[in-house]
Amino acid sequence: MPANLTPQYKEAEHRFRQATTHEEKLDALREMLALLPKHKGTEKIQADLRRRLAKLEEEGDHAKRGGAQRFDPGHVRREGAGQWVLIGPPNAGKSALVRALTHAHPEVAPYPFTTRAPLPGMMPFEDVQVQLVDTPAVAPNHTEPYLANLVHAADGVILVLDVTADDVEASVKELGALLERARVWPASRPSPHDASPLLAVKPVIAAGNKCDLDPDGVFGSLAQEALGGGIPFVSLSAEHGAGLEDLRPILFRELDRIRIYAKEPGKKPDMEKPFVLKRGATVHDLARIVHKELAERIKYARIWGSARFDGEQVNRDHALADRDVVELHA
Ligand SMILES: Nc1nc2c(ncn2[C@@H]2O[C@H](COP(=O)(O)OP(=O)(O)OP(=O)(O)O)[C@@H](O)[C@H]2O)c(=O)[nH]1
Ligand SMILES: [Mg+2]
């Protein structure tokens, strides 16, 4: 039986996926449960949401009993156009990659378990910034339990592999198990039938690092084979720079975001700092992030870019396109 989920429910679900704090998650989940149509076709979803809610409430109680708020390494505040979390076995080059692509300076060292806590850095791409989060290694019996939360809340996941390592296949299995614990499903693979609404479908890509030690690409091909189909694979060298410029645009594109330049009537648009929205966002969505109050009053917009002609007037439900210049009219 189809679940017939309403747009309001889907909006709450979207908020749940975007939530990074415990309170935001609880709020969104309670709303999802309240808005879920209650019938036979949604029984499984109801049970799933209730279970998750009970777990979150219990975690909240624990935190309260623990007194003052503790630093939670399982939450890194999302900044910029979107957040990618890098996961991989020890020594794969996760920190070297974050160092090469962002202004952050995580420690890079030739021994395992160098990185002890998540560390975010911002990667410039054209006129936006994309957040990359370096993390401690994933290894049997050594994986930090909070990594599953971090991966679940991210907008995308980069599996970093040293293609020359002799245990690539075991590492891929370990990473697959972490994705499963995190309830993450790679967007590029066909969704499983009867998927739980709490399964987070998001881009998962692989970075085949240390390609400088693999001139014929033989190890790279083996790593790709170990990953199986449906995971985009970028061959690169974090230390020597090969492939990095291929990776940047992929990291922005896979987030499925659009950049919008706002303009006031009679003035030039601000081409320096675009607003970043989900693909499919409308004039009304833009108004909401420009100014909440404005969103209620917005009547129409003029668009330069994807419009049929410059300055075309469109209504508030019009879907915007990447790099549109938009003038909002209340
Ligand atoms: N040849 C080569 N060595 C690399 C490359 N990237 C990283 N390394 C080396 O690999 C070792 C591990 O790099 P890190 O960036 O510390 O690896 P990590 O995945 O962060 O490791 P942990 O924090 O221990 O999990 C270091 O000695 C780096 O110099 C690369 O592209 N080519
Ligand atoms: Mg590291």
Q: Which of 86, 87, 91, 167 to mutate to test the pocket of ligand 1 (most atoms within 8 A of CB)?
A: 91
Which atom of ligand 1 lies nearest, measured to the CA of 136? 25
Kindly report the length of the chain. 330
Residues with CB under 6 A from ligand 1: 88, 90-96, 108-110, 112-115, 137, 209-210, 212-213, 237-240
- Residue with CA closest to ligand 1 atom 16: 108
For residue 289, give Cα distances in angstroms to 79, 98, 175, 258, 293.
Answer: 15, 29, 36, 14, 10
* Ion ligand 2: protein residues whose beta carbon lies under 5 Å: 94-95, 114-115
pLDDT digits (tens, 9 = 90+) for 17-30: 877 777 888 888 98
Using CA atoms, how far apart are residues 306 and 318, in angstroms rounded to an integer?
A: 11
State which ligand 1 atom lies nearest to the alpha carbon of 108: 16
pLDDT digits (tens, 9 = 90+) for 67-86: 545 567 888 999 999 999 99
Radius of gyration of the chain (CA): 22
pLDDT computed for residue 41 by the predictor: 84
pTM: 0.82
- 123 touches 101 (CB < 8 A): yes
C-alpha distances out from residue 76 to 14, 89, 147, 278, 296, Å: 18, 20, 11, 20, 32
Alpha-carbon distances, residue 114 vs 88, 108, 132, 239 (angstroms): 13, 7, 18, 16
Domains of the chain, CATH where assigned: 7-65 (no CATH), 83-253 (3.40.50.300), 257-329 (3.10.20.30)
Amino acid residing at 304: W
Q: What is the pLDDT of residue 71?
A: 66
pLDDT for residue 205: 98
Q: What is the pLDDT of residues 183-194, one digit of tens each?
A: 999 999 988 877
Q: Which segments of the chain have a pLDDT < 50?
A: 68
Distance 129 CA to ligand 1 centre (A): 24
The minimum-distance atom of ligand 1 relative to the CA of 90 is 25
Ligand in closest contact with the CA of 93 = 1
Residue whose Cα lies nearest atom 1 of ligand 1: it is 210
pLDDT value, residue 65: 66
Which atom of ligand 1 lies at the shortest distance from residue 238's CA?
A: 31
Question: In the prediction, which pLDDT does 198 show?
Answer: 84
Closest ligand, as measured to the CA of 113 = 1
d(CA 302, CA 320): 11
The enclosing H or E element of 161 equals: strand 156-162
